[in-house]
Amino acid sequence: MTSRNQNLTKQKIFISCCFVVPTFVLLLRIFYKDYKIKIPQVQNNPNEELLSLPHEEVFDREKSIFFIEGFGKNYIPARMLCSIESAALVHNNTFIDVLMTSRTLQKSVQIRSLLKAYSNVRFLYLNATTLYMESPMSEWFLKETWKNSKYPEMNFVDPLRYLLLFKYGGIYLDMDIIVLKNLKMLENFAGLESDSWVNCAVMGFRKGHPFLNDCIKEMTQHFDSELWGVNGPKLITKIFRRRCHAQPPDTTLKNCSDVRLFKREVFYPISWTKLDKFFEEDQEFTNTLLNDPNILTLHFWNHNTQSRIIPVDGQNLYSVIVRHLCPITAASSNYIF
């Protein structure tokens, strides 16, 4: 082949590439755009618009146990459903109300299975803006200091638990709490998570309780936008110390006959500093913990454990609990969490 022919061939190849490659990229982008649009529709179906949380005047809330999904998501992963199921299983005569800040709920296989098995589980829409605006925190909410804070999502969600219990009364549980035993005999309570701190992942109060009012006032007047968990353990510990003269780890409350503070072992027997205990195959430890009459819940510290894959047929503490306390969720999750 002559040098001239070779040059012509190269030019043709170059021209073809200039046409074909952009065309291919364009088609790929169109396909990918359609792909991204279509996939969520498949994952999210069937969606169901949720009933709103009723007003307290027309609905008896005193016997409810609350969970809150406060980040606007319309789905709940299996591990959180396990927490919900454990509460429903142990409290079969109590409404387990899962409050969503999304108006719709993605009806996954796990959720459909859960609702079919437990008539006491309800998913309701919580209008967080309305809850704020009808509370003493309305001015704080409108200033949007929380929105401009270092942790906006957390600072939006954390106050909701106090406002919810103050307005309705009941028991509040974080989504990473597994319930081992019935909590309904407890009134106006919280528990230590360590020798120094009270936690608000498990707490219950009657409607309008003055302790909650003190918490709400503290959030409104002394909000620190830069601190992690400022409206969580730091807040409730501060109120217990100030209002009740609490001196953790001592749970004696010298100035609060209307509130009860439980020892760490009751709600948080495994500290976040000892998370490996959940994943070790120690049958003696598992049996001792699950048979201890004083241990009522377990906190799985989801922020620290969410990356770990849990085989439901395993022999570690987490796997044993999943099989016994959320069997429906486990079975509908292909036995892997």
**CB of 278 closer than 8 Å to CB of 317:** yes
pLDDT of residue 32: 31
20-36 pLDDT, tens digit each: 444 443 433 333 333 22
Residue % of the chain over a pLDDT of 70: 82
Domains of the chain: 48-331 (3.90.550)
Comparing 134-138, 186-190, 304-308, the range with the smallest average pLDDT is 304-308
Q: Which two tokens stand for residue 250?
A: 């001592």
Residue % of the chain over a pLDDT of 90: 54
Give the SS3 label for residue 262.
strand
pLDDT (mean) for 130-154: 90
pLDDT of residue 35: 28
Q: What is the mean pLDDT of the chain?
A: 83
Torsions phi, psi for 300 (to 5 deg): -90, 0
Task: Tell whether the model's pLDDT for residue 59 goes beyond 60.
Answer: no
pLDDT of residue 54: 64
Distance between CA 199 and CA 288 in Å, rounded? 24
Task: Tell whether the model's pLDDT for residue 156 goes beyond 80.
Answer: yes
Residue 321: burial class (beta carbons within 10 Å; 0-12, 13-18, 19+): buried
Long-range contacts of 138-141, Cβ-Cβ distance < 8 Å, separation of 24 or more: 139/220, 140/219, 140/220, 140/223
> Would you call the peptide bond into 152 cis, given omega within 30 degrees of 0 as the criterion?
no
Give the SS3 label for residue 64.
coil
